[in-house]
Structure 1
Amino acid sequence: MGNEEEQLKSLPLDDLHKAAGARFGGFAGWSMPITYPLGVMKEHLHARENAGLFDISHMQLFDVSGPGATALLSRACPLDAGALQSGQSKYTFFLDEQAGILDDLIVTRLGAAHYMVVANAGNAAADEAHLRGVAKDFDCKIDALDRVFLAIQGPQAADVLHKAGIAGTELAFMHGFEPKPGWFMSRSGYTGEDGFEIALPATDAGELAETLFKDERVAWVGLAARDSLRLEAGLCLHGHDITPDFNPVDAGLTWAIGKAVREKAGFIGAKALLEKIASGSARKRVGLKPDGRQPVRSETVLIDADGKHVGIVTSGGFGPSAGHPVAMGYVNKDILAATVPIFAEVRGNRIPVHIHPLPFTPHRYHKG
């Protein structure tokens, strides 16, 4: 067996990233650009102030079509796929029978019986197996697409695309379409900023990137800044903030599951989820602000003044826009009600941690 480095998949635009001076690291089985010469702090701020370009080709797109596509997605997800307007996107999940979160997804309706599903890289194979397993009962076709996937994020993103002559800047937030054969574009992202995600064949991708970089407002942004941006925006990372051990009630994500969907209860995990909604959760996902400048990282234990375990950090780092360390995690409900001091245990030291509203920086999505 080779070492892990040999087993990592390379992005289709790998040569472009190398030419841009990227520093690479492994993530979800891929060799990913972690930072560029600009550095994580400036990359993060560039996306908040201008237009950051992210290569997210490690993520997986599934094209779902056919007479049973709507019914399939309404079974596989806590979603009324038939209620989506053509072009509308919706944040949703794959749940297991215990309502644990197998993955979080964005589903976009492209036609009467045609949908695009965007899934996370680390779950791509498991998601495909899960979706195909559920699809055995439905008349539909699932295509796992091989695409370059680029995200352009930031307050200048729409103007950059518009000036480059790229269609789609009229989209409202959480809407998508197919600008040309083999392409998919949505107004969405993972930063809290306005922005777009564009999937396209590898043969077209280099030309698109070259066109975008003619605009001086565009800079490559790596995985490290993508993480700090999404954390400031209070957005979950599957495998950390949401996993099969957490359900949408714990995670504070039941807003993504409409009343009609709950009442129909036709999705996998419906019985368990409705029971959890009725009984309430013993823990809650919250924002966490440590005192001082030292970040608290994922898997750091949270304790009370008596040293009793009261929670866990699931994501943590420094927030360049917030100007202080930022974190998310789960805290026992009774601790929240009591408003007692909470501490993070870091290498034998106790760092005071305060519950902080999410997001840490305001969302600036384009509502149309």
Structure 2
Amino acid sequence: MADTEKLLTIPLDSLHRSLGARMVPFAGYAMPVQYPEGILTEHLHTRAQAGLFDVSHMGQAEIVGEGAAAALERVTPADVQGLKPGRQRYGLLTTESGGIFDDFMVANLGDRLFLVANASRKAEDFALIAAALPAGVTLKPLPDRALLALQGPGAVAALAPLAPALTALSFMGVAAAEIAGIPVLASRSGYTGEDGWEISCPAEQAEALARALLAQPEVAPAGLGARDSLRLEAGLCLYGNDIDETTSPIEAALTWTIGKRRRMEWDFPGAERVREELANGPKRLRVGLRPEGRQPARGHTPIHAPGGGQIGEITSGGFGPSLNGPMAMGYVAREHATDGTALELMVRGKPLPARICPMPFIPHRYAR
């Protein structure tokens, strides 16, 4: 989408531009990909201190009504009914054929569920969920809310003087609070592998919130570029790259998102394929890869057996600033998926030696 006039704007658009952000089209929005310091600096600052990411393009919604959790389970294998108030969970929406329609976050706010969905899929996700809800249960999109992610080991020090109550949350805890007098809903989560919070607030107060957080000495703005390299180092999937309607939760190594109770009842979309792959193993698996040398291999790079034919494809790849080397994830035939297996990545027609390695590439540092 080259014509920026057709792009939707996020509430912090003018703030990003005043900070010198380079704005690019992403999921139909003009989004900051980087600031003048550059992606490498933003990435390393987030790992060392705290980065502030604007993810307001994501879809926010709530589900209200008696039996909301059971109703949401009609479209996901996640155990939503077992989610305690004040807790959040990562889940998958699945298709009847066992593919992944999208991934999402769901929180139990006591009297309602709160959802966060991917920007590129939010309209489809909300339509899919709404169609599955019984009478008396309603999905309400929240387009007038912004979403900020404060991520990194310095996030606690930055947030403590502004909202001490939020620092008491453990990983995947959710609470309503005030930051600098602004009402927020915050979860101790994120998509960088670091400790931090995702903070939802009214769109019209997003700039005041962002400025209050950026005023803290630990915090610097970070864009989509650093968010992508951080999530890849953390071994986390990007919808549309690493997971989509052709990949199953088992192939994607996301079996852990399927609730134990759900694996006994098998009453979710795509259960037949999931059950078959759990019993007999999937044909392919998502794996981590470390190319030799310094050259990164990008998405869609063919993966070959040494001196042999193609056995898979890279879905995300790049240079890991914290890893100080190239990294990738992708799918390979199951018999080649063991850690340490030597492979070749066909980069511009030339074989680049690589090995399968465990993910995450950089250890997670969540507040357990």
- Normalised TM-score (structure 1): 0.95
1:336 is aligned to 2:333: no
> Percent identity over the alignment?
45
Deviations 1:11-69 (A, max 9, x none): 11100000000001111111110010111001000000101000000101111111131
Aligned partner of 2:244: which letter?
T
Aligned partner of 2:331: which letter?
Y
Structure-1 residue corresponding to 2:155: 157
Give the CA deviation at 1:178. Answer: 2.4
Structure-2 residue corresponding to 1:141: 138
1:52·1:154 contact (CA, 8 Å) conserved in 2? yes
Which shows bigger deviation, 193-202 or 335-344?
Answer: 335-344
Structure-1 residue corresponding to 2:5: 6
Structure-1 residue corresponding to 2:359: 358
Structure-1 residue corresponding to 2:305: 304
Give the CA deviation at 1:6. Answer: 2.5
Q: Distance in 1 between matches of 2:263 and 2:300?
A: 32
Structure-2 residue corresponding to 1:108: 107
1:179 is aligned to 2:174: no
1:203 is aligned to 2:204: yes
Structure-2 residue corresponding to 1:86: 85
Structure-1 residue corresponding to 2:236: 235
Unaligned runs of 5+ in 1: none
Give the CA deviation at 1:182. Answer: 6.5
Unaligned runs of 5+ in 2: none
Q: Distance in 2 between matches of 1:54 and 1:242?
A: 23
Give the CA deviation at 1:258. Answer: 2.4
2:130·2:138 contact (CA, 8 Å) conserved in 1? no
Q: Distance in 1 between matches of 2:217 and 2:142?
A: 31
Give the CA deviation at 1:142. Answer: 0.9
Which shows bigger deviation, 286-295 or 163-172?
Answer: 163-172
Structure-2 residue corresponding to 1:72: 71
Aligned partner of 2:118: which letter?
N
Deviations 1:195-232 (A, max 9, x none): 00001112221111121122121100000000000000
Aligned partner of 2:140: which letter?
D
Deviations 1:177-202 (A, max 9, x none): 22269632100000000000001112
Q: Secondary structure at the match of 1:293?
A: coil
Structure-2 residue corresponding to 1:314: 315
Structure-2 residue corresponding to 1:215: 216
Aligned partner of 1:328: which letter?
M
1:304·1:340 contact (CA, 8 Å) conserved in 2? no
1:258 is aligned to 2:255: no
Deviations 1:219-265 (A, max 9, x none): 00000000000000000000011111100110111011122111122
Structure-2 residue corresponding to 1:292: 293
Q: Distance in 1 between matches of 2:152 and 2:214?
A: 15
Aligned partner of 1:206: which letter?
E
Deviations 1:313-354 (A, max 9, x none): 000010000010011001111223597631111112111111
Structure-2 residue corresponding to 1:326: 327
Q: Distance in 1 between matches of 2:197 and 2:216?
A: 16
Structure-1 residue corresponding to 2:122: 124
Aligned partner of 2:137: which letter?
C
1:35·1:222 contact (CA, 8 Å) conserved in 2? yes
Aligned partner of 1:250: which letter?
E
Aligned partner of 1:143: which letter?
K
Q: Secondary structure at the match of 1:185?
A: strand
1:158·1:169 contact (CA, 8 Å) conserved in 2? yes
Q: Secondary structure at the match of 1:263?
A: helix
Instruction: Give the direction of change, closer, same or farther, for the CA distance of 1:177–1:341 in structure 2 (3 Å limit).
Output: same
2:340·2:355 contact (CA, 8 Å) conserved in 1? no
2:24·2:31 contact (CA, 8 Å) conserved in 1? yes
Aligned partner of 1:243: which letter?
D
Q: Secondary structure at the match of 2:168?
A: coil
Give the CA deviation at 1:5. Answer: 2.5
1:72·1:138 contact (CA, 8 Å) conserved in 2? no
Q: Distance in 2 between matches of 1:287 and 1:188?
A: 23
Which shows bigger deviation, 139-148 or 336-345?
Answer: 336-345
Give the CA deviation at 1:166. Answer: 5.6
Deviations 1:82-101 (A, max 9, x none): 21110111111100011100
Which shows bigger deviation, 262-271 or 82-91?
Answer: 262-271
Q: Secondary structure at the match of 2:331?
A: strand
